[in-house]
Every structure is written in C-alpha cells, then in structure tokens.
Amino acid sequence: MAALVMPELKTVGALVAWARQSLVQAGISNGVQEAMWLLEHALRVRSHQLVSQTDRLVSPDVLALVESLVARRVAREPLQYLLGSQEFCGLEFSVSPAVLIPRPETELLIHQVIGHVQPLPKAAIVDVGTGSGCIAIALASRLNGRRILAIDRSPEALGVAQFNAMKHGVR
C-alpha cells in the first residue's frame, strides 16, 4: 500500500478529499463516511460545517491530529476508539481501548433482562465485567430504582464506566 501523503494545500476541503481517498484506498468499506466522521471529530464541527468551510485553513495541530487519526484507521484501529464513543440503546457511551466496544447485538440482552425483571420489583442485577458500563447504565436508565451492581477487575474500565454513569445521571 502507498504511503499517506498529506495535501499541499492545508484546507478543510483538501483534508476531506485526502482522508476519503486514504481510507478508500486502504480498503475501509465505509471509508467516505468514516473520513467525514474523523474530520468532524478532529475539527470539532458538524458535517454541514465541513461542507460549508472547505476553504478554511487548518492549523498545524489539527493537521497533525487528522493525519494521526487517518493513519490509525488505515492500520485498522476501530473507529469507535478513534472517536472515543459508541451509541448503545440510544445513549452515547465513551469508549477507550480499556473496554470492549458496545455491540448492537447486546441491545437484545437489555430487552430480555427488562422483560425478566420488570415483574420482580426487588430483583437485583449484577453486571460482571462491566467494561464501559453500557449494559448496567442502559438498564438503570430504563429500570428506575432497581439495584444494579456493575463490577470489573480493570481499574481503567471502571474509570470509563464511572464516567459514563455520571454522564447519564446514574449512580
């Protein structure tokens, strides 16, 4: 595979084109869209701002960040780790390499647990290996007042879970 070569002109439009081309050439199946998400993240803008600010010059710091993000994605680092988040059960969760990325299939577990515990008002739920806390937090947000214990052996994972719990207002 060819080396990633940054564009000469350091504008938002040039970076978008370069990131798209780099990801598509690397075989990233959703490379065009992922390039947009990476640029939105790096520039801290929404997609419509990327389109409307194509001539805006980019600072060297942002340029370095974009180059790093694209290179990491080309190396197949998960997009969610690069963006630092993943949606799960309608909630946005912070993620890092310290935790597994929440999977859409796991949302089925949430629905099953809710169906089983709703008729049991005193039931306690234990989430062993909570990681990001997505299961415990999604359940807590839907089962108000239920006792839910989330545990993990990794202090880093517990830090991510605590952050997510605070973010979503569950304790």
For residue range 51-82, list pLDDT tens digits in order.
898 999 999 899 999 999 999 999 999 999 99
* Look-up of token digits 């202090």: 155
CB within 8 A of 9, min separation 6: which ones? none
CB 79 within 8 A of CB 88: no
126-162 residue pLDDT tens: 999 999 999 999 999 999 878 999 999 999 999 999 9
